[in-house]
Amino acid sequence: MKLILRYVKPFIPLVALALLLLFAQTILELNLPNYMSSIVNVGIVQSGISNAAPEVMDADMMDMTLRFVDGAEEASVKNAYTWVDAGKAAGKTLKTYPVLATQGAYVRNKTDKESLAALNTAVSKAYFILNMSLGGADFSKMTSDEVLAQAATVSEDAIAGARAMAEEAVPSFMSSVAITLTKGIHTAMGGNVPKSQQGYILKIGGIMLLFSLMSGLCTVGNGFCGARVSAGIGKKLRHDIYTKVTSFSSEDVDAFSTATLITRSTNDVQQVQMVAMMGIRMVFMAPLYAVGGIVMALRKCANMSWIVAIAVVLLLALQVVTFKLVVPKFKIMQKLTDRLNLVARESLTGMLVIRAFGNEKLEEERFDIANKDITETGLFVQRTMATLNPIENFMLSAVTLLIIWVGGHLVAKFYMPVGDMMAYMQYVMQIIMAFLMIAQMFIMLPRALVAAGRVEEVLQREPTIRNRDNLKKLPGRAKGHIEFDHVSFKYGDAESNVLEDINLDIQPGQTVAFIGSTGSGKSTLINLVPRFYDVTEGCIRLDGVDIRDLDFHELRNNIGYVPQKGVLFSGDVATNMSLGKEDATDEEMYRAIQTAQAGDFINEENNGLSIAIAQGGENVSGGQKQRLSIARALIKNPPIFIFDDSFSALDFRTDAALRKALYATTENATVLMVAQRVSTIMNADQIFVLEEGKIVGHGTHRELLESCEAYREIAESQLSKEELA
């Protein structure tokens, strides 16, 4: 996983920006329920009046207020207001309360939040005492003059009794009673309460709209950053996997298999990408939401904290159970995906063989088994997740109902404003959603970790064949002198050698052929020269230099290699030819094509270089593929040619014409040739006969007929006595 994390380093600025936007978004969204609570509590219930202490009041109302205020708080209430003569009030205050133009009044001073809260408490208590002294009068149906008149009739004994009741009353209930009277006081001073209420709702609503827009922009920005990061990581991972795989030897590829390498560079990288994109948002957002939501919910009402605790415990238990059920299946799914790709790839590649043997049913059954296995595993995961969703929805609904039921009782007893209950409900929903996001990440992360581990296996594998530290260089173009010095070779952890103590001395310009029964090690031997495999024992030297001391590029640049199975790539003839020589001219291409005897279907007059080649060369025959592969090697004009049974698909006439044309082209080059046909190698300078990985004979064709029984048996099985002579 550490290796994968390195791919995040180039994107740290984008990740940091995404986290900053995420933090801002969380703060904005956590404040929205607070503002919604203010609209309900203040804007609707309190008619837009947020403070129990009136903004302005006349002298009579001030005297009445001071009468009901506790003695200890009387001075602070007096100090909180300033007498303003008629017409002397500030412009905004005068506009809000027009009576001040003709009448003096007490105007509340601007103060800090702490002092204002203390003032509201004192005034709320005073107006509650007044209300209780009047037997619970309904201030909403009384004018301020009527309140003053009735207050004058209250006895000190009634005030003392009401004061005792105030000590046990709920502060929010006292504030509610006081604000009803404050509303009447503002109206008496010329204040337009409905207009103020509308202004308050529009103001808070505007702030909420602004916060929502800013939150939306943060979401878009965060999504953009996440997409850029994930796409960048995916691009770099695919590039590095491809680069790594191209450096693998055949042994390394066999260790993984082609199917799993394709899966790891596509499906597994996609899993890592998806988590990179979602993780930036969810991994960091969920804890912020959870912690922030819990803090805000407790600030609103600590009495219902047990509801949050129950919801969190149940969610965590549900997530742990789901985690234990689902995570082990992800490892299985990735392996089953490899298997499905392998079966599909083999079936499609070998479709002609399958049809020829009438095995379509067998292959369908084979594919169905692989498909069924991955389907059943996928269904288990999906069913588990499908079961999880209704359980989570039920929990959400149950928690909502519980909050309404408990909160309703608290609201009825004035322990909690209705707006706070609504805000609390939203905070709990945010907390639950945060834990649901965590649950989703618990499901996604393990699968991504499995995928990341599989990708990491490829990236961390050191190729079994690689350049040494202190490389040597050839003085120039290779001469083509190849030596095998006590070379032995075995595949991987095999117990026995495929080649045993091979000693060869191939001079520049020689044509050397290798022949033998199937499995004798012919192809393995010549594949050691371009270092497709490295020798197990001994060494191979090119112009006196151990090929392991040469750079891959330099070594292979001196070799023209034609595999047994002609390999063509999608595109056209010209693009395939240019693999041999990137800057080859059309003339050079046609010359190589003519030498390879491919001119019969690559017609120069009709611009045959533009003939389309399908994927894998499926639209040309086996013989045509071999001839184009030979032409591709010829256009390179290297000092060494390797033909790995590259004439097997050619008819005898084409084979003979090709060998004759090749002789003139390769007369100064060293040619290593594997062949099954004796007629193909009869004119070679040296022929080596292999049996079970050992050289059992060498010499010219005539020498071997006399000295090597194995060669004579092969020759006599293919040629008549007249041809042998």
Per residue in 90-102, pLDDT (tens digit) is: 888 888 899 998 9
Average pLDDT of the chain? 85
For the chain, what is the largest distance between any 2 Cα atoms, rounded to a whole number of angstroms?
Answer: 146
Taking residues 407-413, what's their average pLDDT? Answer: 78
Alpha carbon distance 457, 453 (integer Å): 6
Q: What are the helix and strand counts (H, E) for the chain?
A: 27, 15
Q: pLDDT > 70: what percent of the chain?
A: 98
pLDDT band (50, 70, 90) for residue 724: low
Rounded Cα gap, residues 226 and 214, in angstroms: 18
Q: Which amino acid is at 214?
A: M
Lowest mean pLDDT among 494-503, 615-624, 698-707: 615-624
* pLDDT number for residue 723: 66
pLDDT digits (tens, 9 = 90+) for 333-365: 777 877 887 788 778 777 767 777 777 788 888
pLDDT in tens, 556-600: 899 999 888 878 888 888 888 888 888 888 888 888 888 888 887
- Cβ-contact 403, 23 below 8 angstroms: no
pLDDT of residue 218: 92
Nearest to 592 by CA among 511, 646, 664: 664
Q: What is the mean pLDDT of residues 453-463?
A: 84
Query: Residue 47 region, left (φ>0) first, then alpha (ψ -120 to 50), else beta?
Result: left
Domains and CATH numbers, the chain: 2-36+204-460 (1.20.1560.10), 59-188 (no CATH), 565-637 (3.40.50.300)
Mean pLDDT of 45-70: 90
